[in-house]
Copies of this chain bind each other. A is one copy, B any other.
Amino acid sequence: MTTPSEPTAPEPTAGVFCGREHQLPVRIYYEDTDFTGIVYHANYLRYLERGRSDFFRAVGISHSELAQQDTGFAIIRMELDFKRAARIDDALVVRTLYERVEGVRLYVHQKITRGDEVLLDAHAVAVCISLSGRPRRPTPEMLAKLAPWLRPEGET
């Protein structure tokens, strides 16, 4: 319980789901831009990772707990199509779809949008690893939490 003089501090959002799609709002700050006036291309990968992390957080999987179980993720492949540039003060949305799990591999499709515009279209493959870097299968618990959000059989 909090008293009037000590109100609850605001919590960061972990995004929302719209169907199978997880949506995380991201603001563009000074740190994100470069001297050409637009967002530095490598920084979009930070927003993609925030989207994947908050998707996990939203379905009840936390990186800190995973780390205690000697489990993490590494990206092994990315295909990135940069379509439009973001600028200072922009409000973006990171849209994350976990497509499928095959052995130690997770296939993710992500978009970054601003209003109706798609700024970035990204396909990523992550592998589940031990913290010493060896591939390891996701635990049944993690798979159970992911299963409802994966692409249904037969859909493309």
Contacts and interface: CB of A to CB of B under 8 A. Distances in A.
Interface of A: 7, 9-16, 18, 23-27, 29-31, 33-38, 40-43, 45-46, 49-50, 53-54, 57, 62-64, 67, 72, 74-83, 85, 87-89, 91, 93, 113, 131, 133
A103 B36 CA distance: 21
Contacts of A113: 9
B7 A25 contact: no
A46 B31 contact: yes
B12 A25 contact: yes
Nearest to A132: B37
A123 B62 CA distance: 33
Closest 10 CB pairs of A and B: A42-B45, A33-B35, A12-B27, A12-B25, A10-B25, A78-B80, A9-B93, A64-B89, A41-B75, A31-B46
